Structure 1
């Protein structure tokens, strides 16, 4: 469980609930079926129309990814492991690492270093792994964009609901009993849209983007390391260049 994701969701929704409770009117006035239909129904409909069914099926798994810790080892440990493999190959030959590579749990690392074991040349290994990384980028980008679209669409549907409610309210100014429900639609659709965009879609979009960046950096380190080992670069040069990837630009 990713504590920051769970904590952010829990704290955000909890504070809204607390504000409603402190308001003294309870949750009843904040529940409006027409507003639910406009915002949530409209958001689902628009999102379904914007993306392919195969991508939409990955929304729930993507939420699980955001809610759990990234299954990527720390980058400094990854660099140390690559340097260890490079040292073993220098001392004993590439077959020395074959069994260790087969036991690796990171599929990207395993594939890159299996290519090494198979004697793949650096000018073949690097494009192959970069192509794999490019496809991963595309898959992740679609998921991130889905949540970005959900957030934007929910806000837009909230505004549409507000206009629907205002029109209904203005059309019934002579009937005080009809003004209240119309005003509820106008106000609550905006509220629902803002909550969905900020405390649901916004959190998951941001967290998936951050996890994606961590995974991409790890993959870049693996590609660079495997390519340099295949090119028979020195251990010192391998370590220096891999560590350079980890340094922040402003450091």
Structure 2
């Protein structure tokens, strides 16, 4: 479980709940069915209309990825592992690492080093791995875009609900009993939209983007490492190049 994501979500919603409790009126006034229908129903409807079913099915996966620990190795450990493989190849030949490569849990790492074991030259290896990375980037960007859209749509639906409430309120100024419910819709839809966009979709979007950038950097390190091993570069050159990428990697 990713403690920072879970802690941020729980902490944010808990602080809002605490503020409501300290307000002295309880949760009742903050629950409004028309506002819920406008914001949540509207966000779901608009999102469903803007994306393909295949992308919508991945929303659950997005939540899981955001809430679970990253499967990507820390970059220093990844670089050390590549240096280890490079050293083994240098000392004993590429076949020395074949069995160990088959046990690697990182699919991208495993595929890259299997190409290396197969004797793939850098001019073929690099385009193949970059193509795989490009398609991974597209998948990740598409999923991040769904949550980005959900956050923006929730805020927009909140504003639409505010306008609906204001119109209803102005149309019933002569009826004091109708002004209160209309005002509730006007205010609570904005609140629901802001909370959904910031404390739900926004958190997931930001965490997915962060994990995506980390994974892309790790893949770039793997591509560079395997290409240099295939080109029979010295261990010192490989270590220097990969460590330079570590310094430039997003923190």
TM class, shorter-chain normalised? Answer: over 0.9
Which residue of the partner structure matches residue 102 of structure 1? 102
Give yes or no for the alignment of 1:222 onto 2:227.
no
CA–CA distance in structure 1, aligned partners of residues 76 and 176 of structure 2: 67
CA–CA distance in structure 2, aligned partners of residues 160 and 116 of structure 1: 56
Alignment root-mean-square deviation, CA? 1.0
**Unaligned stretches of 5+ residues in structure 2:** none
Which residue of the partner structure matches residue 43 of structure 1? 43
Q: TM-score, normalised by structure 1?
A: 0.98
Runs of 4+ with >6 A deviation: none
CA–CA distance in structure 1, aligned partners of residues 189 and 249 of structure 2: 43
Which residue of the partner structure matches residue 244 of structure 1? 244
Note closer, same or farther for the CA distance 1:147–1:248 as it changes in structure 2 (3 Å cut).
Answer: same
SS where residue 233 of structure 2 aligns?
A: coil
SS where residue 232 of structure 1 aligns?
A: coil
Task: Spell out the pairing of 1:1-251 with structure 2 (5 A cutoff).
Answer: 1-248=1-248
CA–CA distance in structure 2, aligned partners of residues 231 and 4 of structure 1: 41
SS where residue 247 of structure 1 aligns?
A: helix
Post-superposition Cα deviations, 1:131-183, rounded to whole Å, max 9, x if no partner, equal 00000000000111111111100000000000000000000000000000000
SS where residue 156 of structure 2 aligns?
A: helix
Note closer, same or farther for the CA distance 1:226–1:206 as it changes in structure 2 (3 Å cut).
Answer: same
Contact 2:5/2:207, CA 8 A, preserved across alignment? yes
Contact 2:217/2:249, CA 8 A, preserved across alignment? no
Superposed displacement of residue 72, structure 1: 1.2
Contact 2:85/2:97, CA 8 A, preserved across alignment? yes
Q: Size of the alignment, in residue pairs? A: 250
Q: TM-score, normalised by structure 2?
A: 0.98
CA–CA distance in structure 1, aligned partners of residues 100 and 160 of structure 2: 58
